[in-house]
A and B are shown apart, each in its own frame.
Chain A
Amino acid sequence: MKLIGRRLIQMILILIVASIILFIIFDSDTFKMRIALAELGNFGVSAMDPDDYKAWLVKKGLDIPFYQRFALWVGNVLQGDLGWSFEKNTAVGPLLWAALKNTGILAFWVFALMVPLSLILGVLAGMREGSRLDRSISFISVFTTSIPEIATAIILTVIFALGLKWLPTKSAMISGFDGWQLMLPVMTLVLYDFGYVARMTRASMAEVMTSQYIRTAVLKGLPYRRVILRHALRNALIAPFTVIVLQLNWLLSGVVVVEVFFEYKGFGKLLLEAALFGDIYVVQACTLVAVIVAVTSQIISDIGYTFLNPRIRFA
């Protein structure tokens, strides 16, 4: 409990520091200019004299010093108002929710496929360390993890969408939700990520298999299947649990390039577009979500680890 409290306080501190830094960054003149250019066009900006520009800043509420805007923003966020998007000219809240929902769907399928796949492969590899099966699984997982997402996305697109024409190339989902369009992004993310989790599972499993109590169980004459399922797995799956929860944090980064490549309207694409535009309130809201997800997943993995591992709980 004390640990959770400490982590929560740390999270709030981190959020405050992060959003102040973001406000300072986006307060720079280049960003204000970029918003002006995007809204009024090149010609519109060059036609303005300094007074007009100032008037425009006042109209947009950008003339107020950043610390005042920051205080205002904090007050609004606490009331549930995330601000206004300059680029899309709507409230940030619904925009963010729609994007998060899409990314949530993506993340759900990634985890639904990745977790069983990597656990099974990891356990199979770790069961007999050094066997041919172990070596091939280890090599495959290094191989797939080494191919960056952008390359995986390209290779999968060329094979399944351009070559075999089984799947659509883009996942913009213009005419409503389409499961077929979700396949390539999900496959890309799973292929990139499963190797890492499988290797962690393998390491954990291999360590458990060398421990005394497994040897006792084997020497006692228990069937091998029973030793693995009842004795080894319980301890071997503690460490992968932490890794899997932390993958949530990784997914928020990994999703950017995949969403941009497949034109999937999710969190990553929203963040990148907003950042390129200088759309401060959208970036702030996205960062807020990202940091909350990151710190929450850390807290969950810490708590889960303590809960699952009695040696730590009672220490």
Chain B
Amino acid sequence: MADITIEPAAPSILAQLTRTRIIALLMALVWLPLSAYVISGVTPGGSADYMLLPSIPAVILLYLIAFRAWRESWVAVLGLSLVCFWLLVAVSVPFLPLFDPNKPIAPFQIPFATKGENFYLLGTDYKGRDILSRTLWGCQRVIVWGVTATLVAYMVGMLFGLLAGYLSGWWDEIISFLGNVLLSFPVMVLFIVILNYLGPSGFNIIVAVTFASAPAIMRIVRGLALDIKTRDYVFAAQTRGESPLWIMFVELLPNVRGPIIVDACLRLGYTTVAITTLTFLGLGLQPPDPDWGLMIRESAKTAMLFKFSYMLIVPALSVSSLILGFNLMADGLREMSLRD
């Protein structure tokens, strides 16, 4: 008891994380310039690069804050470090001394090769483009499209989940049936059909990921909403005469966020897998801009020699480390939330 009087009882870690407005601000500071930079497709080297400057300290600050909050779980810290490493690369890559990722220089240079004045740490691909540069630039695309797609899927899924869970009745029946229709497609089949219809591009990946992920998110949110609906503070709001929309978004939504954060980390991982896989299959992002899935796709035919296998290994390890980061983060967070 003495401890509590000296130090106020720490709120749960998830609550600590979400309660802080600063974190949301920092995240926006990273995500907005980065996505604007990638989606507008500006050519690197111009003045648009300076847009990313404020994001660099924001990433470092985010890392420090999360590190402090999660330090008791080494799993979460390891995951966080991996994710933040790639985030830092994504925002700082225009300022790094790298070759142009799209410029053919010297083909088939194996790693650590020196040719003339140029040194290729990770070698070059069959077209002679520097692999180190392509890998580091490639993480921008994966992160931006992955995060944006997950975000949109969450907004749609949460909206329908709240509608189904709170309003019940016909709303619930119809939304749940549509969700079941979408869920009974194997994910890849759904992706292939949607992207094939809309044509391959980043925006259409968002649509496809939303169709594939939103029903599952909807189910989770619906279950949580059904549970929370019977709480006293919802009755209080109803008695006050609040509108259903107000109750859904102001009373219910903030209280379902805990389990959702863990799920979001996992889903970021799935989305990253999906984007890389789809791009490899030729249904995702299009050449020539660097992307990990694209690097694998382009080299899959030529790199079938042990000597040249670095062309495939480098992007494969990069994407794996990012996904591992998301999954470890989810794991550590779940562990910590169970402990509280």
Contact = CB atoms under 8 A, between A and B. Distances in A.
Contact of B323 (A147, A275, A283, A294): A147
Contact of A154 (B189, B277, B281, B312): B312
Interface string B309-329: 100110011011001101110
Interface of B is mostly: helix
Interface stretch (B103-111, B160-168, B180-188, B239-247): B180-188
A143 interface: yes
Interface string B183-220: 01111110011001100000000000000000000000
Contacts of A278: 196
Contacts of A10: 180
Interface string B258-276: 0000000000010011001
A142 B280 contact: no
Contacts of B313: 154-155, 158
A293 B305 CA distance: 38
Given A261-B300, A275-B193, A150 B186 contact: no
Q: Interface residues of A toward B: which range?
A: 35 or more
Contacts of A13: 177
A250 B183 CA distance: 11
A149 interface: yes
Interface string B266-294: 00010011001100111000000000010
B331 interface: yes
A252 interface: yes
Contacts of B277: 148-150, 257
A253 B193 contact: no
Contacts, number: 118
Interface of A is mostly: helix
Among B189, B273, B300, B316: residue with most chain A CB under 10 A:
B189
A276 B282 contact: yes
A253 B188 contact: yes
Nearest to A292: B184
Contacts of B186: 249-250, 252-253, 290, 293-294
Given A142-B331, A290-B185, A169 B296 contact: no
Nearest to A251: B186
B219 to A, nearest CB: 13
A18 interface: yes
Q: Interface residues of B toward A: which range?
A: 35 or more
Given A146-B324, A257-B277, A283-B193, A154 B185 contact: no
A162 B312 CA distance: 12
Contact of B192 (A14, A169, A272, A295): A272
B189 A146 contact: no
Given A145-B327, A294-B186, A295-B184, A155 B192 contact: no
Nearest to A11: B184
A5 interface: no
B112 interface: no
Among B184, B296, B305, B331: residue with most chain A CB under 10 A:
B184
A286 interface: yes
Nearest to B198: A25
A142 B304 CA distance: 29
Among A17, A22, A151, A295: residue with most chain B CB under 10 A:
A151
Contact of A256 (B180, B192, B276, B304): B192
A257 B280 contact: yes
A239 interface: no
B184 A291 contact: yes
Nearest to A287: B189
Nearest to A34: B196
A256 B273 CA distance: 13
A28 interface: yes
A294 B188 contact: no
Contact of A147 (B177, B281, B320, B326): B320
7 contacts: A10-B180, A22-B193, A139-B75, A148-B276, A162-B306, A287-B189, A294-B186
Kindly list the 6 A-B residue pairs having the minimum CB-CB distance in the complex, ordered from nearest: A253-B188, A151-B316, A146-B324, A162-B306, A253-B186, A252-B186
Given A146-B269, A158-B309, 17 more contacts: A17-B181, A147-B320, A147-B323, A148-B273, A148-B323, A150-B319, A154-B296, A155-B313, A162-B309, A169-B304, A253-B189, A256-B188, A261-B300, A275-B196, A276-B196, A278-B196, A295-B184
